[in-house]
Structure 1
Amino acid sequence: MQLIHGKTLGQWYETHPLIEDLVKLREATWFNPFVKKTDLALPEVGLTVDDIKDAAARLKRFSPYLAEVFPETRHQLGILESPLVAVPEYQKSLDKHYHSHSIGSLWLKLDSQLPISGSIKARGGIYEVLKHAEELAIAAGKLKLTDDYRLLAEPEFKAFFSQYSVAVGSTGNLGLSIGIMSAQLGFKASVHMSADARQWKKDKLRAHGVTVVEYESDYSEAVAKGRKESENDPMCYFVDDENSKSLFLGYAVAAYRLAGQLQALSVKVDSEHPLFVYLPCGVGGGPGGVAFGLKAQFGDDVHCIFSEPTHAPCMFLGVYTGLHDKTSVQDFSIDNLTAADGLAVGRPSGFVGKAMQHLLDGYFTLDDDEMYQLLALLARCEKIYIEPSAAAGIPGIYEVLKDKQYLQRMAFSQKQLQQATHIAWVTGGSMVPDTEMNQYIAKGEKFLSESV
């Protein structure tokens, strides 16, 4: 009988009952009983609030350069940030869709509208490339921290950076952010793309002069091959989505920005007004970094929950079993084939899973067909257009409110829940070509009509 990490599948079902739901591709939810108080768990990450502040300061230094070379960023003076919007009509439609009555208010954080690459990856990916460029230029004596960084757009700097290359493995969106930013600076950029990456993302990268290397296998092999190739080239910098602390910190800056947006909108976050944030998860770097920033900013008043496709629940599986990156969905014969291409990851980040395991309240999975329905409903109600993976966190409010055991363990009163703010982090979609977006919506509308 085949053993999986020393146990039969039946033994895994006995010790970890939710694995049966994961293996049978059923939607599942697990609220983490091992979550700790923030002041105890935050030091486990190995990074500090000062590290986040350092990342925020770096992005500020680069903002004049970004405004110079990317016209779409000028209205925000080169600060890459996305809108936070309340969606009361959508919330009413979701209540009908789920035959439920939600309490608290639902908001969407529209990273789908981030400039340059149209997804959450514009945070971590662009940040890591900028950090690398800054370090190279300073080491060469070409740049000082006090300089006006617009000088990086001059031909001299493009010629300097052209000596170096940047590589990354990606299902699509990270590759877009890394490739576009690297090419703009002058780096030779290569993106190793897994089989599930959308063709339009490959085409867009090539249009920016980026080398796209395609694989017939999944994300993990694309990363492994990209890493191996760069190891043989001393002038090549590999962006490691599985382990990068720079990526992680780029994402973490989002929390400071969100705090400012909530304050501007007079939305309270405190013990009586808890904040729940639902983050779609692939390998874990993006949602992990955002969650780290949120916990550093709001402490025990924020509750972060990851969402994944039923066909690719790698972080859920890794943290639930305690195996982290020692296991993959394929070990349990889960196929990792999902329409949510940005989340099509078989093995989770060991760094994020271990660092954040006591800071995340829970995990849930979502069927692909449900993601299509949610994006179609959003387009219908709010004229907001997103890709399937970006819809993964939207039902989180219902997962929280229906889990009585979790609510009791966390000792939430009815008043606290009524005053709660729920934010679904909408991770991408604004750059999807119209023809493909129309297909997404048509597919979702079809599923919606069949579910009535």
Structure 2
Amino acid sequence: MLDDNGQEKDRLLAELAAGVPVFWINHALAQSHNGDAYRQDIADARQRLRDARYHLQGSFPATHGLADVVESRLLAAEDLAKRWKIPRWLVKADHSLPIAGSIKARGGFNEVLAFAERVAASNGLARMSPERPNYTHPDARSVFSHYSVVVGSTGNLGLSVGMIASSLGFRTMVHMSRDAKTWKKNLLRANGVEVLEHTGDYSIAVQQGRQAAEADPKCHFVDDEQSMDLFAGYGAAAQELASQLEEQRIVVDNDHPLFVYVPCGVGGAPGGITYGLKSLFGKNVHCFWAEPSASPCMLLQLLIGVHRSVSVYDIGLDNVTEADGLAVGSASPFVAPLMADQVSGIYTANDGHMLDMMLSVRDAQGLQVEPSAAIALLGPLFLTASEEGRSYVQAHGLGRTLPDATHISWTTGGSLVPPAEWQLLYERAEAFRGKVSALADAWSNEA
């Protein structure tokens, strides 16, 4: 169990069960990070994603003319920064990634491409050239038609895996939970993916997908809870971000700390990103994860301890949220222990806060992000305005350097949402306009 005293743990558990916003600070945060264990896996994933350019540009018109098909922009959030008095606030815009349109793109693509490489090699297909992997061989699609790829998902990983696996010629099946949006199912079906719907939640979808794959020796199951290839794909984003910071002449060091806020579902994407960033920037990067108040599976797991599984249902939560990509009941048993002393903290927010921030980022920055992405934009406010955030800054001696810090909100999901869905989302969000300001005001009154 992490180093939280009994009273603090009981208070946090009670607040989680009540579904109120919580900001947990990790008192067991390590001051060092050994990134050697998965360094090569992440480097291989980064190269694999770059090598995929030929296939992706040939299969998806939206990627034509893009130099880096699986890299997102790093945008300045100047108007939001002015409103909330954040010196430098940036958005890592995974919500605008082509093809899959979310933070899940790199991990899902890396997993499927790695499988494709293995299948092609086992069937005697050689690399076409230094720029063209073996899965681009003229005979590859015929070979792949005898194999299948299966994944369980609430939506975004299903889109990532489904789109690329189908484009390669694999029979592709996505088991989707009750939380998955109808438009995501329709998009997959339109791209030749078999969508199997389940009345249960994410865990049921994963379980059903795993069982289906076990019955077929030529079927590859993408295990969102345990996969190293997914984790490495997510980790590849760290070097991508580091290069963008260098291009923008943004320094990260003892005098210029970096704060990164990442949405968290089962934990693979924020875990991989955090692992990669800690490997590059060490103690100068501070990674915070964001979860819906209805689905705080990772925070609950770290509070209870990583050696026994726990579900949000165990504390009376319903795991129902507008942030469908984060609607996960139990945390990854691979990521939780690995990152238990690397994540700086986790905050939770309810649907009203996410929907209000979704409106704010549209109005201020012209960005359309789903609720599961909007939650990452709450991070700088939690850190700079809440009592817990201020205590973290003080405990780590960051008060002097905070004016020179860089804050990055990592978004997921948005560019693929149909216009009619946006209209419905924004109409629902109007009922919650002002919720974030009210939360900030409450923090101010407590100060």
- Number of equivalenced pairs: 430
Which residue identity lines up with residue 427 of structure 1 in the other structure? T
Whether the 8 Å contact between 1:278 and 1:394 is mirrored in structure 2 is yes
The aligned counterpart of 1:51 is: 41
Where 2:321 maps in the other structure, the secondary structure is coil
Where 1:316 maps in the other structure, the secondary structure is helix
The aligned counterpart of 2:92 is: 109
Alpha-carbon distance in structure 2 between the residues aligned to 1:199 and 1:271: 47
Where 1:166 maps in the other structure, the secondary structure is strand
Is 1:425 the counterpart of 2:410 in the alignment?
yes
What is the 5 A alignment of 1:13-412?
15-39=9-33, 42=35, 47-77=37-67, 79-93=69-83, 95=84, 102-144=85-127, 146-149=129-132, 152-153=135-136, 156-323=139-306, 326-401=309-384, 402=386, 403-412=389-398
Where 2:236 maps in the other structure, the secondary structure is helix
Whether the 8 Å contact between 1:42 and 1:359 is mirrored in structure 2 is no
> How far did residue 206 of structure 1 move?
0.7
Q: C-alpha deviations, 1:110-164, integer Å up to 9, x for none? A: 1001111111111100111011101111222202385542774565211110000
Whether the 8 Å contact between 2:297 and 2:329 is mirrored in structure 1 is yes
Whether the 8 Å contact between 2:125 and 2:137 is mirrored in structure 1 is no
Give % identity.
42
Q: C-alpha deviations, 1:261-307, integer Å up to 9, x for none? A: 11111111111000000000000001111111111111111000000
Whether the 8 Å contact between 1:128 and 1:250 is mirrored in structure 2 is yes
Which residue identity lines up with residue 398 of structure 1 in the other structure? L
Where 1:267 maps in the other structure, the secondary structure is coil
Q: C-alpha deviations, 1:379-398, integer Å up to 9, x for none? A: 11111101111111111112
Whether the 8 Å contact between 1:171 and 1:196 is mirrored in structure 2 is yes
Mark the runs of 5 or more structure 1 residues left unpaired by the alignment. 1-10, 96-101
Mark the runs of 5 or more structure 2 residues left unpaired by the alignment. 439-447
Distance verdict in 2 for CA 1:325–1:432, change over 3 Å? farther
Alpha-carbon distance in structure 1 between the residues aligned to 2:150 and 2:99: 18
Where 2:149 maps in the other structure, the secondary structure is strand
Distance verdict in 2 for CA 1:17–1:110, change over 3 Å? same
Distance verdict in 2 for CA 1:78–1:134, change over 3 Å? farther
Where 2:71 maps in the other structure, the secondary structure is coil
Which residue identity lines up with residue 417 of structure 2 in the other structure? V
Where 1:123 maps in the other structure, the secondary structure is helix
Alpha-carbon distance in structure 2 between the residues aligned to 1:15 and 1:80: 40
- Which piece of structure 1 moves more, 322-331 or 131-140? 322-331
Q: C-alpha deviations, 1:243-274, integer Å up to 9, x for none? A: 10100000111110111111111111111000
Alpha-carbon distance in structure 1 between the residues aligned to 2:349 and 2:58: 41
RMSD: 1.9
Distance verdict in 2 for CA 1:449–1:26, change over 3 Å? closer
Alpha-carbon distance in structure 2 between the residues aligned to 1:395 and 1:324: 30
Which residue identity lines up with residue 187 of structure 2 in the other structure? K
